[in-house]
Amino acid sequence: MPKARQQLEPRTVTVIGGGVSGMSAACALAEAGYRVQLVERRGYLGGRASSYLHPGVNEVIDNCQHVLFGCCTNLIGFYKRVGVENKIHWTTEMTMIEPGGRRSMLGPSSLPAPLHGLPKLLSAHAFTLADKISLARAFRAMMKPVEDERESLANWLRRHKQTPSAVERFWRLVIASALNADLDAIAVPYAAKVIRELFMNSPQAGAMGMSSVPLSELYGGAAQFLKDRGAELHFNTNVESAEWKEQASQWTIHTRTGTLVSEFLIIALPFEAMQRLLPHLPVAPGSEKLAQQIQRFEHWPICSVHLWFDREITNLPHAVLLDREIHWMYNKSVLQPWRKSKGSYLELVQSASRKFAALERQQAIDQALGELAEFFPAIKEAKVEKAALIKEVRATFGVPPGIDRLRPPSTSPWPNCFLAGDWIATGWPSTMESAARSGHLAAEALSASRIEDCRFLEPDLEPQGLMRWL
């Protein structure tokens, strides 16, 4: 925990937004001794990473499957801070399945990084020899600095002569899915970051984690952490405006239910919510530029189909599904054993497809079921007991070429006001890690003049093996 320069009276911070960015900032500051007021318009924490009781199926479901990786040091640090790190299911292997059921495994070996993933890639049935050669060539190229940050991933893949199958089965499915955008709408530096972090730096960095409890339960640990440190949580509270009192050196935040006063303000909202709040903040040099920047951001959807069967469909915890519209299968009966279902509960995720997001409920469910049967024959004999379709139309922001010059820093145009959110300039794409990093960056910026050696940002994992010198 940062060390105070001297004994100072606790100062009050209001954090607007209870998503991952707001929670990470609030918890870091509460631990450092600040009096925190967290304001959330919903009745629970988590933002886009939350769960709820779905009335149509009478089951608690996540609004979308969220995953993290070993390289997500700030998200993992946040989980450790609030005591929920033991509620993550970790795996180092990825199963890829072709229609018809043939499987390939990707994962680490005993070779030093960046060679640790090479043996399983070379033995993967999903890729031809030509695919493997082209992928190895691309991986090697991505170890070098990006030549042109304005280039799209689609153009980069053409220049580096990626085979059609490598593009479809790896770049489009794994990388574009991870970044939740089409190949021509992805800036090369973000693709390179995914490649380096997940596949090259170390086996630990590429380990994949999934919550073993509903997301709202996972983030309930943050609520208790804050309460134990004297923080005030204002749920179901919508912020209407905020004004800066220069003489008193404080913020007055107006909500529909009352007024809050604090010395500092952290606005930890998604970019579209920040856009709505901007006209209700003071006019300041730079505020108009911020508004123009936000207008350039774009949403990409993620859809998930939840299916409950009367029998076991597969014992795999998760899988990548090749050559079809649905991309990922998560076996919630395995990942969340507390459910104790006699059958199977599977969640199917479709990323970066506005076409799929436009389907009607039954159309989407029928398509997902039909495709799933091509990978798991047990589907044909099973009975679907319940089904739900969740469309998160504002799941992520896009990372097209040029996006970095639009991402603002943690500091804002207003005094004693700081910004957080996955869209802030963190160097990461739209992920929970980017959100957690932004919260820690905002906490650092706020505390810089008050706390000695103020560091909330968790260091990145060090590259291992040969990657330490490459």
- Binding residue positions for FAD: 21, 239
Do 305 and 364 contact (CB within 8 A), yes or no? yes
Q: In whole angstroms, what is the distance from residue 174 CA to residue 304 CA?
A: 17
- Peptide bond between residue 55 and the one before it cis (omega within 30 degrees of 0): no
For 61, the 3-state DSSP assignment is: strand
Q: Which residues are annotated as a binding site?
A: 21, 239
Question: What is residue 200's DSSP assignment?
Answer: I
Q: Classify residue 338 as exposed, middle or buried by CB count within 10 Å of its CB (0-12, 13-18, 19+).
A: exposed
- Token reading at 57: 């199926």
Q: In whole angstroms, what is the distance from residue 200 CA to residue 117 CA?
A: 8
Do 300 and 396 contact (CB within 8 A), yes or no? yes
Do 222 and 23 contact (CB within 8 A), yes or no? yes
- Strand 59-62 vs strand 51-54: parallel, antiparallel, or unpaired? antiparallel
- Strand 88-91 vs strand 12-16: parallel, antiparallel, or unpaired? unpaired
H/E segment holding residue 36 = strand 35-39
